[in-house]
């Protein structure tokens, strides 16, 4: 899927605001350099969902976005490693950043707060970003 092309004309101080809006609305990304702390792209209440009884969070295989590993391969491996928690979307969303490092974790961290509500939505954005070559 090719992202829509957006043309923004510079108009003084309004240019930065317009670019920020385009990044948020089109790509679900927050611009760098905002001095913000880590925020989760899913709703805070997802952190209250309990893990299955006696569940141990796996030591996930890491995806960094730079080693040529396919995103489909990583998501498949991640899902298998989740075990019984793989049937719960909210738990998968919570654990997915534990399977990322480097550029991939930076991408995840740049997603806007409350912009992801399902694992399928996160997976789509993940595939689009790392498959399309839209990285900086």
pLDDT one-digit tens code per residue, 14-43: 777 777 777 777 766 766 655 556 789 999
Residue 78 placed within a domain: yes
**Confidence band of 7 (pLDDT split at 50, 70, 90):** low
76 belongs to a structural domain: yes
Retrieve residue 60's tokens: 């996930």
Crossing angle, helix 102-110 and helix 119-132, to 10 degrees?
130
Contacts of 128 (CB under 8 A, 6+ apart): 1, 134
Q: Is residue 21 part of a domain?
A: no
Helices marked H in the chain: 14-22, 71-82, 89-95, 102-110, 119-132
Lowest pLDDT segment from 13-17, 88-92, 97-101, 120-124: 13-17
The answer to the question of residue 12 being in a domain is no
Q: Is the pLDDT of residue 105 over 80?
A: yes
Domain holding 58, by residue range, is 36-132
CA-closest candidate to residue 95, choices 40, 53, 54? 40
Q: 3-class SS at 35?
A: coil
Percent of the chain at pLDDT > 90 equals 62
Question: pTM here?
Answer: 0.70
pLDDT grade for 2, boundaries at 50, 70 and 90: low
Query: How many domains are there within the chain?
Result: 1
In-domain check, residue 9:
no
Which pLDDT score, from 0 to 100, does residue 4 have? 54
40 within domain boundaries: yes
Q: Is residue 42 part of a domain?
A: yes
Give the mean model confidence (pLDDT) for residues 105-114: 92
**Is residue 4 domain-resident?**
no
User: What pLDDT does residue 21 have?
Assistant: 77
Tell me: pLDDT of 49 over 60. yes
Q: For residues 65 and 81, which has the higher predicted lDDT (pLDDT)?
A: 81
């Amino acid at each position: 899927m090719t992202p829509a092309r957006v043309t923004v004309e510079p108009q003084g101080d309004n240019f930065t605001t317009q670019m920020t809006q385009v990044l948020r609305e089109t790509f679900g990304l927050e611009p760098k350099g905002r001095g913000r702390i880590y925020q989760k792209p899913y709703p805070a209440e997802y952190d209250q969902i309990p893990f299955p009884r006696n569940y141990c969070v796996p030591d996930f295989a890491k995806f960094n976005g730079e080693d040529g590993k396919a995103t489909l391969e990583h998501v498949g491996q991640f899902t298998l490693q989740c075990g019984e928690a793989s049937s719960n979307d909210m738990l998968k969303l919570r654990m997915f950043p534990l399977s990322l490092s480097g550029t991939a974790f930076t991408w995840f961290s740049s997603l806007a707060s409350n912009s992801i509500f399902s694992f399928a939505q996160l997976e789509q954005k993940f595939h689009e970003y790392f498959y399309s070559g839209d990285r900086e």
